[in-house]
Amino acid sequence: MFVMDIKKRDAATRLKLYARLLKRKRNILTRALALMAMAGLLSALAYRNETLTYESHVQDLKLNTTIEMVEVRERIKNNLISRVFALNELATIIGQNPTLNATEFNIKALDFVLGNPDVKFIEAAPDMVASMVFPKSGNEDVLGTSYRDRPEHLPKVLAALRTGETVMSGPIELSSEDRTLILRTPVFTPAPAGKRNPWGVLSVVLDYDKFFNKLGIAEYEQGFDILIHEDYAGHGQDGDVLLGDGAVLEADPIFLDLNLPFGTWELAATTDGGWPPHLPNYIIRTISYSLVILACVIAFGLVLRLYDKRRESDRLLSVGIEALEHGFVMFDADRRLVAFNKRYKEIAGGSGMVRIGARYEDIVKANLRLGLIPDAVGREEEWYEKWSQRLEIEVTDNEQILADGTFIRAYDRAMDCGAVVGLRIDVSDLKIAQREAEAANRAKTEFMGVLSHELRTPLTIILGHARLAQNIVKMPVYSKLIAEIEKHPEISAEIMPILDEVVTKFATMTRSIENSGNQLYTLISEILDFAKIESGTLAMEFDQTTVPSLVETVVEQMRPMVEHKGLKLEVSAVNCDINVDAKRIQQVLINLIGNATKFTEQGTISVIAKSSPGGVTFEVKDSGIGIPEDQLESVFEAFHQVDSTSSRKHNGTGLGLAISRDIAIAHNGELTAQSVLGQGSTFTMTLPRNAAPQLEDNSDETWKDKEEHQTLAA
C-alpha cells in the first residue's frame, strides 16, 4: 500500500513537471512569434521611412537641378535671341538694298562678325544660290552652291522662306573636330500693296564649341547630364539635338521649355549619371536601421521576459502574502479591500467584516467599536478624523491591543495612486527593538526622500531632451545646407532667420541637458565617493604638484558659473610645491566654490592659498547667507542639510562637505568652517606640504589600517 502511494505521488509529480514544461515551451513559442512580428513591423517601417527619405532626396536634387538649368536656359535663350535680332537687322538692310555688291555685303557682315567671335562665316544666297560669303578666305567652296542641290539643308531653307522666321540647324559635323550651328533668316524685298517678295536666305555659321564655351555650359556639364533638343510635339526627340544625348530622356529628367524665335525647344537634365539609386549614406543607414531593429527586438524580448517574470512575481507575491506571519491588507484608490491574508482577517474585525470590496472606513471603525485601539477609546470620531487626515499625507502608525492582550502595530500607507497598503504586526516582544529601528528608518527615509527629490528633476529633463540634444552646427549636413542656401541668395534671406531660430532652440535644449547632466553626475559621484569612504576603498594617488596649478585649474572651471550668477571671483595663490592627490584636492575646492556660489546672491567669492607652518592653507570666502552657529559642525555630517525640507531653495545631497572633510583628513589635514549669519562663510582647508602616507618597507600596515591613526573613513 505504501509503495502504491509512492508510485501515485511520483506519477503526479511527473505529470506536474510535464505540464510545467509544456507551458514553458508554449510561452517560448509565443514569445518567438511576437518577436518575429515586431521585427517584421519595424523592418516595414524602416523600409517605408527609407523610401520616403530617398524620394525626398531625389526631389531635392530635381529642385536644385531645375534651379541650375533655369540659368542654363536663360543664357542660351538670351544669346540666341540677340543673335536673331542682329541677323534680322542685317537681313532687313539687305532686303532694302537687294542689289548690293560683295564689297557692300562684306562691310555689313564685318560688324556682325566682330560682335560675335564664334561666327565662322556669313553667307548670302539670293534665289537660294550662295553668291556672297564673309570672310571669303577659306570659304571659297561655298560660293555658287545652290540649296536646291543640297537636300540636307533645303527643308530648313524652305521653312524659313515659308514662315518668314529665323530657323536653326545643328549641330552639323563638318569633320570629327569641327561642328557648327547654322542660323538662317529669310530676306524679303518690298513690293506694292505692302507685300514682300522673297529675295533669298541669309545664313550665319557658328562654331559649335566656341558658342557653348562662351555661354559657360561646360561647367554645368561636369555635374549634370543635359539634353537640349527641338520639340515638335511635347516631350519627344522629334527635331535636332542641340546639346547632349537623347538617353537623358530615359532617366526621368526635369524638363524646361526653351521658347526661341525660331521654334520650340526643350531642355532636359539629370544629375551626372542620372539620379542616384540610393541615398548617399545608404549602407550606413541600412546598418543603423538593422542595429536599431535588433536593439528594439532585444528590448522587446526583455520586456516580454520581464512580463513573464512579473506574472510569476505576482503569483509568488500572492503566495508570500499568505505565508506572512503578520497581517497584510491592500485597498484600492476607492479605499475598498482588494487583497488580504488570513492573519489580517483574524486581527481586523472577524470574517464578517473583512471581505473583498469592504470599505477601509468600515473596517477601521469596526476596530474602534471593539476597543482595539487604546488611544481612541472615548474619542473614536475625533481619532478617526485625524487618522484620515494623516493618511492623506503620510504613513499612519498606531498600536492595537487584541482581546488576548497581544500588541499589534497597525501600519497603513497611502500610495501616490490613492491605494492604501497596511500591515498588522505582532510587536509584543519587539517594541524596544522597533523604537531603535524607527530611528534608523527615519534617517534612511529622510535620505531617500532628499536623494529622490534631487535626482528626479534633472533625470526627467535629461530623459526628455536626450534625443533632441544634437550639436547641429558642427554636423556636415548643416554645413552642406548652409553652403547650398548661400548659393541662392534670392532665398537665403528668408530661410536663414528660420534656420537660426531652429539652431538656437536646439542649443537651448543642449544647455539644459548639459546642466542637468552635470548636476546628476555630481550627485551620483558624491554618493559613490561616500560609499567608497564607508567601505574603506577610496583610493588616493599622491603626486608632486604646485599650488597655483591646483587653484588655477579649479578657478577656470568654476569661473563661468560664478560670473553667470553676477558674482565677482578673486583669486590669490602662493607659489610653492605640495605632494597631494591633485584630483581629490580639486574636488574639495570645486565643492567649496560651488557651495559658496550656491548660497551667495551678490558680492564676492575669494579663493586664497597661502603658506602656513609646514603646510598650505586654502580658504574659500563668500558674502552669502551664512550658517547658523549651532550648525557649523553639523554641516560636515553625512546627509545633513541646513534646510532638509523637500521644498528647499538650494539643492544637494548633504554629502559634499562630509566627503571634503574626509579627503582633507586623508591628507593628514583638516577642513573647518567659520560663518556669520547673513554676512557670509569661510571654509579653511589646511594640508601638509607632503601629505602622502609614509609606510615603512617592513610594515604590514595597509592604507585601511592607517585610518585609525588618521581618523579616516576611507
Partners of residue 580 on adjacent β-strands: 543
Report how far apart, in Å, the C-alpha atoms of 365 and of each of 90, 91, 331, 382, 418 are. 117, 118, 15, 12, 20
C-alpha cell at 145: 552652291
CATH of the domain at 662: 3.30.565.10
- 318 domain-assigned: no
**Quick one: pLDDT at residue 646?**
41
392 and 340 fall within a common domain: yes
Q: Which of 464, 492, 527 is the last residue of a domain?
A: 527
211 and 342 fall within a common domain: no
- 58 domain-assigned: no
3-state secondary structure of 201: strand
681 and 664 fall within a common domain: yes
Residue 460: which residues within 8 A CB-CB, separation 6 or more?
none
- 155 domain-assigned: yes
- 308 domain-assigned: no
542 and 414 fall within a common domain: no
CATH of the domain at 160: 3.30.450.20
**Quick one: pLDDT at residue 223?**
87
Helix (H) or strand (E) holding 6: helix 2-96
Please report where in the chains the cell 485601539 appears, as a residue: 373
Alpha helices (H) in 97-189, listed in sequence order = 102-115, 154-163
**Quick one: pLDDT at residue 458?**
66
- 702 domain-assigned: yes
Closest C-alpha among 368, 364, 307 to residue 331: 364
125 and 218 fall within a common domain: yes
- 135 domain-assigned: yes
3-state secondary structure of 405: coil
Mean pLDDT by 10 residues, the chain (714 residues): 57 76 80 87 89 91 91 86 85 86 85 84 89 86 86 85 83 73 88 79 87 82 86 55 84 86 83 88 88 90 84 79 82 84 73 75 77 74 76 64 69 79 76 62 51 57 58 72 79 80 76 69 66 66 90 90 89 91 90 89 92 89 88 76 48 74 89 89 91 50 34 26
**Rg of the chain over CA atoms, in angstroms?**
47
Q: Could you tell me if 47 and 199 are in contact, meaning their C-beta atoms sit under 8 angstroms apart?
A: no
Q: Which of 527, 561, 578 is the last residue of a domain?
A: 527
Range of the domain at 182: 73-271
DSSP states of 266-293 as a string? Answer: EEEEEETTSS-SS-TTHHHHHHHHHHHH
3-state secondary structure of 363: helix
CA torsion sign, 681 to 686 to 692 to 693? negative
Q: Which of 249, 271, 293 is the last residue of a domain?
A: 271
575 and 697 fall within a common domain: yes
- 314 domain-assigned: no
Rounded CA separation 502/493 (Å): 15
Rounded CA separation 219/225 (Å): 11
C-alpha cell at 609: 592659498
566 and 634 fall within a common domain: yes
Rounded CA separation 403/400 (Å): 10
517 and 412 fall within a common domain: no
Under DSSP, the state recorded for 692 is S
553 and 470 fall within a common domain: no
Determine the straight-line distance between the first and last CA of the chain, rounded to whole angstroms.
68
**Quick one: pLDDT at residue 645?**
44
Q: Could you tell me if 480 and 499 are in contact, meaning their C-beta atoms sit under 8 angstroms apart?
A: no
Q: Could you tell me if 422 and 328 are in contact, meaning their C-beta atoms sit under 8 angstroms apart?
A: yes
405 and 554 fall within a common domain: no
**Quick one: pLDDT at residue 702?**
35
Q: Is the pTM of this model over 0.95?
A: no
- 345 domain-assigned: yes
496 and 559 fall within a common domain: no
Rounded CA separation 159/232 (Å): 14
What stretches of 512-580 adopt beta strand conformation (E)? 543-546, 568-573, 577-580
Provide the edge-to-edge strand list for the sheet that holds 568-573: 568-573, 604-612, 615-621, 680-688, 670-676
120 and 264 fall within a common domain: yes
Number of domains in the chain: 4
